[in-house]
Amino acid sequence: MKRITVKHAPDLDRFFPESIPSRVKITTGDGKSFVKEVRYAKGEFQNPLSWEEILQKFNALVPSSLLEEKRRKNLVETIQNLEKVEDIKELTALLDEAAE
């Protein structure tokens, strides 16, 4: 943490409020610099997560001790096919089971 410095970049203000861009600059011990700038953070509407990234996040945040494999699979499949769900109670029942 002692090596991290946060600075305001006034040149990025022109993109606000459409986006909240960020710039990261890494300077190595030998003096080399690497810069990466993004207008939209990963997960924003304009830069959405892929289905695989969503699953990775879900699996990281919901441990198997909290949701058994069969329920986890049913929940993921239902969400993946949400447009085919005729009654939202199908989803809420799975969520209710997950909360038990």
Contacts of 57 (CB under 8 A, 6+ apart): 49
Tell me what percent of the residues of the chain surpass a pLDDT of 70: 96
- The answer to whether residue 100 scores a pLDDT higher than 80 is no
In the chain, alpha helices (H): 51-61, 69-80, 89-99
pLDDT bracket for residue 22 (50, 70, 90): very high
Mean pLDDT of 64-91: 89
Q: What is the pLDDT of residue 54?
A: 95
Residue 70 token pair = 């069969």
Q: Let me know: does 47 contact 40? Beta carbons within 8 Å.
A: yes
Tell me what percent of the residues of the chain surpass a pLDDT of 90: 71
Q: Residue 30 phi/psi, 5° resolution?
A: -90, 10
Domain coordinates in residue numbering, the chain: 1-42, 51-99
Mean pLDDT of 71-96: 90
